[in-house]
Amino acid sequence: MGNEDNTAAGAKSGSMRVAVVGLGSMGMGAATSCVAAGLTTYGIDPRDSACEAFVEAGGAGAASDGRDFAGDLDAVILLTVNAAQCRDALFGEKGLAAHLKAGTPVMVSATISVADAKAIAAELEAAGLTMLDAPVSGGAARAAAGEMTVMAAGPAAVFDQLQPVLDAVAGKVYRISEKIGDGATVKIIHQLLAGVHIAAGAEAMALAAKANIPLETMYDVVTNAAGNSWMFENRMRHVVDGDYTPTSMVDIFVKDLGLVTETGLSMKFPLPLATTAYSMFATASNAGYGQWDDSAVIKVFPGIDLPDSGKH
């Protein structure tokens, strides 16, 4: 596709023009939510298939980079996998930063370290741009519904600039503080819980399998009792179905729990459960399950028979 834009017939022409960088499961939902809110929305993704799908969903245009429309943008949302992709999208050879209007707000919604959030903010400031440190949660379904949870930090003026975008993509916005890095910190703490809950759910279901308890029965009991969690209910359904088609991959939690453990190390603060969960996900990744759904962390347990639909 190169730099050629796809133009959607009848794309909505809202008063605000926004680009979503990263049209994955969360980014596509955020982008289509912006379209639904009446914002003129562009998508940026290296995959032709993602760009085409977004245009079909009503996007104003999509391309592998956004230089052709960057000068018209009023806001940018980054929903990439990691900090390296954020940097490349902004400051790389085809980066947006050099082509944006002065003062354009950039909403960095990837899960990244506090140090990376601060460094990216400083580079954006040097380029005459502003940043909201705004990680998100909620999964693909809530992203598609425009109901993500946003945990954000940054100057009040940047919150105000991005209010139409936040209204479009979020069900709940937490204004953590005006300090860049606090949003990243809250998301990292959240990911500690999310990763440990998946790992604990996998351990429980593995024990059920070892004890020859039907997994459908075990799942039904837990989801109607006190031991349930959102992650158990969502992810262990995949185990029961034997379907590891990824919505969020094992390698995402290798990355995110790596950030958690690094944060603990930087503070000399022990995180025994997070460290164990990280080891479980890393073991699953090294065993060849890195690109499978993160519920495939259950594959680290030996000597059990699990349902297998063949989907991954």
Residues belonging to the active site = 187
- DSSP conformational letter for 296: G
In single-letter form, the type of residue at position 162 comes to: L
For residue 300, give every residue at least 6 positions away whose Cβ sits within 8 Å of its Cβ, in sequence order, or none: 202, 280, 283, 284, 287
- DSSP conformational letter for 143: H
Nearest to 163 by CA among 39, 288, 8: 39
Nearest to 3 by CA among 48, 49, 39: 48
CA angle 183, 110, 280 (to 5 degrees): 95
Give CA–CA dist 150/143, Å, rounded.
Answer: 11
Give CA–CA dist 234/222, Å, rounded.
Answer: 12
**What count of Cα atoms within 13 Å lies in the side-chain half-sphere of residue 130?**
19
In the block, which residue shows the tokens 């399950």?
289
Tokens (6 digits) for 113? 């370290």
Burial class (CB within 10 angstroms; exposed 0-12, middle 13-18, buried 19+) of 147: middle
For residue 122, give every residue at least 6 positions away whose Cβ sits within 8 Å of its Cβ, in sequence order, or none: none
Mapped onto helix, strand or coil, the DSSP state of residue 239 is helix
